[in-house]
Amino acid sequence: MRKKIQHILLSSPLLIACSFALTGCPGGGDRMHFDETTQVITAGDHICFLVPDAQDYQPTLIAINPKGTSSQQQTFTSNPPLVIINGQLCIPLSFYHFPDKGLFIVEYILASRQHADEPRSIVVGVGVSQGRFYNIPLTNMEINRPLSEINKE
């Protein structure tokens, strides 16, 4: 019995150390960052996304892909030549030309110099019909949201 207790006491620190090595230490770096979503609007021949509390945030990465595109086939543009102006991120036809009909997932990352440690991830479902844009609901596989919101579809 004594050997069994010694074995347990000696192996426990090893088990705890291995657990931290495999799962990571708990703390601030393990916080889950959820995606935001927003409204799509049109402004002239541009499709625009409202950016609440825009401050000095600007896009650093954008992906526009047809709904259902696998993660391996998605295309991303780093440092896109797009700028948030008056709380709107607008995409001109010269950057991306949407067809007259279809469903798309638009994802972009916003970064800020003032809040360098707080990038924002935005995911928007966009539908196009006869050249008109509208929001479409996102599935739980398309947006990272809090557990409390997952089953509200």
Which residue type, as a one-letter code, is found at position 48? C
The phi and psi torsions of 13 (rounded to 5 degrees) equal -60, -35
Domain assignments of the chain as residue spans, ordered by start: 28-150
Q: Quick: pLDDT tens for 111-136.
A: 999 999 999 999 999 999 988 999 99
CATH 2.60.40 fits 28-150, yes or no: yes
pLDDT value, residue 9: 45
Which of the two residues, 65 and 23, has the higher pLDDT score? 65
Whole-prediction pTM value?
Answer: 0.77
Look up tokens 């086939």; give the residue.
73
| % of the chain with per-residue pLDDT over 70 | 75
Please compute the mean of the pLDDT values over residues 41-65 and round it to a whole number.
94
pLDDT value, residue 93: 86
User: Where residue 76 falls among pLDDT bands split at 50, 70, 90?
Assistant: very high
The whole-angstrom separation of Cα 107 and Cα 63 is 5
Look up tokens 């996304």; give the residue.
49
User: Where residue 48 falls among pLDDT bands split at 50, 70, 90?
Assistant: very high
